[in-house]
């Protein structure tokens, strides 16, 4: 009975030690392990599964051949170019995600913030140097490396929101329709010219109307004068 108790106690102690060791170790699930000279890199997303439109980061854990973390890299020692769908990002500087003196973060972890906006396969191209060891390696997402970016719609409930790509597509369609409407409208110069022509035509019509009134008035006046003179003429030629 005592031997069984000792065995169970030792088993519990071993499990506790394993749990502590795992808690203190960097998360390497779905990460790719790369050897660069005498150094060891573990790369992948900071948050997995990586979701389109959600804040994330590209992480790399750097250690030597004895798995001792490298904690003295400068802020510009390593950078990464992220590629997907034939598009490349600008070089993103990997900065320390830890502080040895303050005791936070995982020593040897360097990262850069990134929001992947489209689902699909992604490639990380790391470059720079580690203690004069040149770094120039690429790794692509997959079953043996790190996860591709997934759309968040499968996790949304109860209403699935459109992705950023879908929103961008809809906005592009709206812009195209607005451009078509604007192109069908006359240009500002044509509108100004038409307005000026209409104003000139109205002015000409007003002048013609005025001239017609004046001429008509003169005609009526001349007719009255002729009528008066005719009556006077008949009165003067009557019997004495």
Residues 114-154 have pLDDT tens digits of 999 999 999 999 999 999 999 999 999 998 899 999 988 87
Q: What Rg, from alpha-carbon coordinates, does the chain have?
A: 44
Residues 109 and 38 in one domain: yes
In a domain, 165, yes or no: no
Residues 56 and 129 in one domain: yes
Residues 144 and 200 in one domain: no
Examine the pLDDT at 102 and tell me if it is beyond 70.
yes
Residue with the bigger pLDDT between 27 and 235: it is 235
Half-sphere exposure of 29 (CA within 13 A, CB side): 6
In a domain, 162, yes or no: no
pLDDT given for residue 234 in this prediction: 66
pLDDT given for residue 220 in this prediction: 65
Helices (H), the chain: 2-24, 164-184, 188-236
Residue that finishes a domain, picked among 150, 175, 208: 150
pTM of the model: 0.59
Tally of domains within the chain: 2
Residues 49 and 141 in one domain: yes
Residue with the bigger pLDDT between 5 and 236: it is 236
In a domain, 218, yes or no: yes
Q: Domain range holding 222?
A: 193-235
In a domain, 125, yes or no: yes
Strands 56-64 and 39-45: antiparallel
Residue that finishes a domain, picked among 150, 177, 208: 150
Under a CB-based contact definition with an 8 Å cutoff, are residues 148 and 50 in contact? Answer: yes
Residues 127 and 198 in one domain: no
Residues 218 and 105 in one domain: no
Task: For residue 172, name the pLDDT band (cuts at 50, 70, 90).
Answer: confident
In a domain, 60, yes or no: yes
Percent of the chain scored above 70 by pLDDT? 74
Task: Return phi, psi of residue 11, to 5°.
Answer: -65, -40
Write down the mean pLDDT value for the chain.
Answer: 81
- The 10s digit of each residue's pLDDT in 38-97 is 999 999 999 999 999 999 999 999 999 999 999 999 888 999 999 999 999 999 999 999
- Over residues 28-44, mean pLDDT: 85
Burial label, 19 (beta-carbon count in 10 A; 0-12, 13-18, 19+): exposed
- Enumerate residues 6+ apart whose C-beta is below 8 A from 159: none
Under a CB-based contact definition with an 8 Å cutoff, are residues 58 and 46 in contact? Answer: yes
CATH of the domain at 27: 2.60.40.1930
In a domain, 179, yes or no: no
pLDDT given for residue 236 in this prediction: 62
Least Cα distance to 80 among 8, 162, 135 occurs for: 135
Residues 138 and 202 in one domain: no
Per-residue b/e over 205-218, b at no fewer than 16 CB within 10 Å? eeeeeeeeeeeeee
């Amino acid at each position: 009975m005592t031997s069984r108790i000792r065995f169970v106690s030792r088993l519990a102690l071993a499990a506790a030690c394993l749990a502590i060791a795992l808690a203190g170790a960097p998360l390497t699930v779905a990460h790719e392990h790369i050897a660069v000279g005498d150094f060891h890199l573990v790369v992948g997303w900071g948050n997995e599964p990586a979701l389109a439109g959600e804040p994330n980061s590209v992480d790399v854990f750097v250690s030597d051949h004895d798995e001792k973390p490298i904690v003295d890299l400068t802020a510009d020692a390593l950078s990464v170019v992220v590629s997907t769908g034939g598009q490349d990002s600008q070089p993103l500087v990997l900065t320390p995600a830890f502080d040895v003196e303050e005791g936070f973060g995982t020593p040897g972890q360097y990262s850069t913030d990134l929001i992947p906006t489209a689902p699909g396969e992604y490639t990380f191209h790391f470059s720079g140097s580690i203690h004069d060891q040149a770094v120039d390696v690429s790794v692509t997402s997959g079953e043996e490396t790190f996860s591709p970016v997934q759309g968040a719609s499968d996790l949304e409930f109860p209403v699935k929101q459109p992705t950023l790509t879908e929103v961008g597509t809809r906005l592009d369609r709206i812009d195209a329709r607005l451009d078509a409407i604007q192109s069908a409208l006359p240009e500002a110069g044509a509108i100004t010219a038409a307005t000026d022509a209409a104003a000139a035509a109205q002015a000409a019509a007003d002048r013609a109307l005025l001239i017609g009134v004046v001429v008509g008035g003169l005609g009526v006046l001349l007719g009255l004068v002729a009528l008066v003179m005719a009556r006077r003429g008949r009165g003067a030629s009557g019997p004495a």
